[in-house]
Amino acid sequence: MPVRFFLGGYTADMDGRADGVGVVHAGAPDDVLAGGALRWAGTATAAASPSWIAWHPTLDVVYAALEAAGTVQAYRRIGEEAFAPLGAPVPAGELVCHLAVAPDGGSLIASCYGDGRVVRMTLDAAGRPSAPVAAPAPDQPAPGLPGLSGLSGLPDMPGLSGAPGHAGEPPTPHVHQARFTPAGLVTIDLGLDLVRVWDVRGDALTERQRVALPAGTGPRHGVWHPSGHLYVVTEHSNEVFVLRPAPGGALILVGGVPLPVTQVGGDFPAEIALTRDAQYAVIGIRGSNTLATVRVGGEGESLAPVALVESGVDWPRHHVIARDTVLVAGQRSDEIVSLTIDERTGVPGRVRHRVDAPTPTCLLPDRA
């Protein structure tokens, strides 16, 4: 079979055109890379706005964040490109937008943009989720740190505390991602400009630490680097921050880099992904519809801008790097495109292939 990707997307309840979890093929049957022609292969299962989808680590089970409904639904695989519901949907919270499944397969974490809830669900032996428990909310926003100019050795670029649409408004939680890392469970709160670290004990989450990023920066998603650093991309200030674990497991903010901005106040970074050798990170930027490449330096603690190229889609909501290829989900242009990436520089080239795909929001590589 060609390389296969499952797609999360928005359906009519979120003003989208998808019917559920979609399927896209990349390449011919004998291809081992993802750089071949793209083909839409239909819908794997009907679902209402499965905006984020994630695999169970060992079972043929996929979990979907049904964003408008505020629930999480499990689906068991019943064919190469077909899934069926596994159990009933489980309530999570308003506008649930991301799921992280624990490496041991015993639980998952749902992140809710609308009400800022972080919800743990138990997974049984078959992979069915149940028993949602919300983590404690922050009692108050942590004090903001100075902008990047207040960190030693970084460029003079203050945080975006006066960002349009945020000045004068009280901060409210909008959790956008959770990630299991060697440092612990990390959640990223776009509304409160917080990175929180949790201990998972039984069915409860206990906050161990919170790291405040500059006010108004809007941290959205992060990626764990093999060096042990966490890179966090910000939606409102167009930056990538670097956090490293200290002795004892705490995360420390050690640096960051501004991303190129072509539309002041109109660029909104979305996803960050590492190249195969982890020497570069590629960030999708909605608005200007570009992909930014930054180079990893030192022992992982420093980042430097390399290039900014066209993504080839409108509103690059999500992208994945599959060896020498970047696949990008264009939410507003209803398509998936593929670009070859130069692994020597980390820079994507021109669009090689594209295919119509209804309102895609997430790309999940098949593991079959």
Position 29 confidence tier, pLDDT thresholds 50, 70, 90: low
Predicted confidence band at 143 (pLDDT cuts at 50, 70, 90)?
very low
pLDDT value of position 152: 30
CA distance 120 to 98: 12
Mean pLDDT of 79-99: 98
> 13 — phi, psi (to 5°)?
-70, -10
Instruction: Please name the residues in contact with 18: beta carbons below 8 A apart, sequence gap of 6 or more.
Output: 7, 9, 10, 11, 43, 49, 358, 359, 360
- How many domains in the chain? 1
Rounded Cα–Cα distance for residues 358 and 336 (Å): 9
Q: What is the pLDDT of residue 189?
A: 98
User: Which pLDDT score is estimated for 368?
Assistant: 64
Q: Tell me, what CATH number does 331's domain have?
A: 2.130.10.10
Range of the domain at 353: 3-365
In this prediction, residue 367 carries a pLDDT of 86
- Whether 164 shows a pLDDT value over 60: the answer reads no
Band the pLDDT of 156: cuts 50, 70, 90: very low
Q: Is the pLDDT of residue 144 over 80?
A: no
What mean pLDDT value characterizes the chain? 91
Instruction: Give the position of tokens 């919300």.
Output: 134
d(Cα 243, Cα 185) in Å, to the nearest integer?
14
| Confidence tier at 148 by pLDDT (50, 70, 90) | very low
Q: What are the Cα distances from residue 2, in Å, to 36, 45, 228, 324?
A: 9, 20, 34, 15
Which two tokens mark 155? 């460029």
Query: HSE-up of 215 (CA within 13 Å, CB side)?
Result: 16
Instruction: Say whether pLDDT at 263 is over 90.
Output: no
End-to-end CA distance of the chain: 10
Torsion, Cα 263 345 38 327, to 10 degrees, reads: -50
Maximum average pLDDT range among 85-94, 136-145, 199-208: 85-94
Report the pLDDT averaged over residues 356-360.
98
Looking at 166-170, 189-193, 280-284, which range is the least confident one?
Answer: 166-170
Whole-structure pTM value: 0.92
pLDDT at 159: 33
Average of pLDDT values for 298-327? 96
The whole-number average pLDDT for the span 240-246 is 95
**Phi, psi torsion values for 117, nearest 5 degrees:** -75, 145
pLDDT of residue 30: 66
Which pLDDT value is given to residue 2? Answer: 64
The bridge status of strand 325-330 relative to strand 61-66 is: unpaired
